[in-house]
Structure 1
Amino acid sequence: MMKLRVLLGDHPHTAALKSGAIASDLVEMDFAQYTPTNKGFKPMVRDGAFDVSELAIVTFLMAKAHNKPMVMLPDVMMARFQHSYAVTNPAAGIATPRDLEGKRVGIRSFTTTTGAWLRGILANDYGVNLDAIDWITFEDPHVAEYIDATTKAPAGKQIMQMLFDGELDAVLGEKSDDPRVNQLFPDVATEEKAWFARHGVVPVNHVTVVSRELSDNHPDIVREVHRMLQESRASAAGKSPSFNDAELTRSIELITEYSAQQGLIPRAYAIDELYDHVTNALR
């Protein structure tokens, strides 16, 4: 039996796995504890801290761009529509997405997956000039090699408090029903429905990756990990995002295109480049 270092969030589709209800004769999983789970993404990318890891899709794409030794499994950990994660200060006079141009927009890190999805949506569906926005960021990218040219928020400042205080005009990547903010998209449900009708995808946020060493040297273990993930997902039927290969491919191709447009990665990778011969066979 091989003991694996594993980072997975607490999702309905990981509950059976993390409780031990899904067992294996080949694999023992040693689960790392990070709250929130994305706090573990930096050690995964920078130090290879885990054999199996949940990872934001944009972080994975950027990791690939810098030859980090990991490959993707066809196991989605998180997916959601993004339109509700954009809020504005009412005093900023932002009535439409294009009103963001010339404004100060806060985002936790320029490389967050929600941010990349939203910027792609703003640019491609609403004609927003992303270069006309003053981006204010609060955290470093998970991938250390990426050169972040955004404006850094003053030390100690909190993103939502800056929005409340009028030091930011809008924030991407945060969801809030605080009466001091407006929604960038007032009718979120209608926007999401229309966006899905245009693109036919649910945006993927987090995927699952394995270390290249594990895949190269222990393909049977990688296949077993995938089996366990699938079995755990089946036990939570209807409570978790489920994608067939075509749906997953369309979603990842779109966020890859957006990431390339935004300079997060040097080019839009083909879907087959994100898998290796072991994980590709699991699709």
Structure 2
Amino acid sequence: MNKLQLSVAMGDYDRTRALYDGRVLIDGVDSIFMLLNPEEMFFRAMRSMDFDIAELSFSSYLVKHAKGECPYIAVPIFLSRAFRHTSIYVRKDRIAKPEDLKGRRIGVPEYQLTANVWARSILQDDFGVRPEHVTWVRGGIDTPGRPEKIKLKLPPEVHVEAAPDGTTISELLDRGEIDGFIGPRPPSASVLKNPHIGWLFDDPTAVAKDYYRRTGIFPIMHVVGIRKELAQQHPWLPGAVVKAFTQSKAAALALLGDTSATKVTLPFVEEQLKAARETMGEDYWSYGVAPARKTLEAFVRHHHAQGLSERLVGVEELFHPSTYESYSI
């Protein structure tokens, strides 16, 4: 049987590197890999369906999947996970605590971004700041005029306005024309030099660890999607993709744990790895539905409550049916 020649778009992570360099292969596939940043990858996947297999924004996927309009079917490979307490920046000269955000103006690059869904869920669940308590100002972080990738129909009580023409939300934050900023990337580097701008949480790591201990949630940002027609034509493909990405992650973790010469250009890696496992368990960056169920349930609930998915999608509907169970030896 000839192998399928498929394009695969993904980020350049330690957990994908074994795929890119050929140490791990997707069974039955001759892969053409493209290492792209999230903004380009997600825009091209959702606007023009440029890839056969692609890393996808979990939120963008769910917006379209809930309507039956997504060209991809996801598999439970979570290439990006992050506690989004570090995604919330504020004017420290006027915001002292999360509750102070009520009645304020917060900049976002796109309302529906996964990082923003998680950040809003934290503000609502832990501090009582609901989406309708805030005016959301949408614009580019570094470039004016960034559009939403996907057309949204938000609840009438949620107010979103565009940043002024020719202006970025970083500039608005720097000038004090908005009170906060939420996004998967920080504001522009020049803006962070402003002494009045900083994280909402002075010690976001401590707050995130407390959040995990209370909730058991390690937020999922990105999933992997396969073009639906390919998954229908080749029923073995979703399982092969899950297998390969899982093997690639295992290879990355094996290298991360080899401290004879650290594989990451960062001190204290051994200590951080030990701390992560003590807090979150050995399989702290799990793939698959079962270990992530609590996180998945929280996300679909908040996504729907925030008006982004038109119906509450069950966890059993999120992924290709063949990927909910796996063999064992």
The offset of 1:113, in angstroms, is 0.6
Is structure 2 residue 315 aligned with structure 1 residue 271?
A: yes
Equivalents in 2 of 1:25, 1:217: separation in Å? 15
> Is the 8 Å Cα contact of residues 55 and 224 (structure 2) preserved in structure 1?
yes
Pair 66,43 (structure 1): closer, same or farther in 2 beyond 3 Å: farther
The change in CA–CA distance for 1:243 and 1:25 in structure 2 (over 3 A counts) is closer
Separation in structure 1 between the aligned mates of residue 181 and residue 73 of structure 2, nearest angstrom: 32
Instruction: Tell me, in whole angstroms, the C-alpha distance in 2 between the residues paired with 1:137 and 1:143.
Output: 14
Identify which of 1, 4, 8 aligns with 1:2: 4
Task: Count the aligned residue pairs.
Answer: 280
Q: Secondary structure at the match of 1:125?
A: helix
Is the alpha carbon distance of 1:279 and 1:51 closer, same or farther for their aligned partners in structure 2, counting shifts above 3 Å? farther
Alignment correspondent of 1:165: 175
1:175 aligns with 2:167: no
Separation in 2, partners of 1:25, 1:74: 17
- The corresponding residue for 1:13 is 15
Structure 1 residue 26 and structure 2 residue 28: aligned? yes
CA contact (8 A) 2:27 2:240 kept: no
Confirm whether residue 195 of structure 1 aligns to residue 206 of structure 2: no
Counterpart pick for 1:228 among 232, 235, 244:
244
Q: CA 1:25–1:226 in structure 2 vs 1: closer, same or farther (change >3 Å)? A: closer
After the TM superposition, which parts of structure 1 deviate over 4 Å for at least 4 consecutive aligned residues? none
CA distance in 2 between counterparts of 1:212 and 1:262 reads 27
**Once the 2 structures are TM-superposed, how far is the Cα of residue 33 of structure 1 from its aligned partner?**
4.5
Aligned to 2:224: 208
Which secondary structure does the structure 2 equivalent of 1:105 belong to? strand
Unaligned runs of 5+ in 1: none
TM-score (norm 1): 0.91
The superposition leaves residues 215-252 of structure 1 with CA deviations (integer Å, 9 ceiling, x where unpaired) of 11112233222222111111101659334533322111
Q: Rg: which structure is higher?
A: 2
CA distance in structure 2 between the aligned counterparts of 1:2 and 1:273, rounded to whole angstroms:
27
Aligned residue in 2 for 1:114: 115
Give 2:215's aligned amino acid.
H
Unaligned runs of 5+ in 2: 140-145, 257-283
Aligned partner of 2:52 in structure 1 is 51
Structure 1 counterpart SS, 2:85: coil
What is the alpha-carbon distance in structure 2 between the residues aligned to residue 234 and residue 208 of structure 1? 17
Q: Aligned runs of 1:144-155 on 2, under 5 Å?
A: 144=151, 146-147=152-153, 150-155=160-165
Of 200, 203, 219 in structure 1, the residue corresponding to residue 235 of structure 2 is 219
Q: Which moved more, 1:111-120 or 1:271-280?
A: 271-280
Distance in structure 1 (CA, Å) of the matches to 2:229 and 2:212: 37
Displacement of 1:44 in angstroms is: 1.3
Pairwise CA RMSD: 2.1
Task: Give the aligned residue type for 1:183.
Answer: W
Q: Which residue of 2 aligns with 1:38?
A: 39
Q: Kindly tell me: are residues 75 and 24 of structure 1, through their superposed partners in 2, closer, same or farther at Cα, counting changes over 3 Å?
A: closer
Residue 279 to residue 140, structure 1, CA distance change in 2 (3 Å) = farther
CA distance in 1, matches of 2:309, 2:27: 39
- Distance, in Å, in 1 between the alignment partners of 2:292 and 2:47 is 26
Q: Give the direction of change, closer, same or farther, for the CA distance of 1:222–1:243 in structure 2 (3 Å limit).
A: closer
The structural deviation recorded for 1:206 is: 0.8
Residue 195 of structure 1 aligns to a residue whose secondary structure is helix
CA contact (8 A) 1:116 1:259 kept: yes
CA displacement at 1:262 relative to structure 2: 0.5
Matched to 2:237, the amino acid is: I
CA contact (8 A) 1:252 1:271 kept: yes
Partner in structure 1 of residue 267 of structure 2: none
1:261 matched residue in structure 2: 305
Counterpart in 2 of 1:79?
81
1:193 positional shift: 1.6
Q: Which amino acid aligns with 2:186?
A: K
Percent identical residues? 28
Contact 2:246–2:287 under 8 Å retained in 1: no
Q: Which has the higher contact order (CA 8 A, sep 6+)?
A: 1
1:61 maps onto 2:66 in alignment: no
TM-score, normalising length: structure 2: 0.79
Find the residue that maps to 2:84 and give its secondary structure.
coil
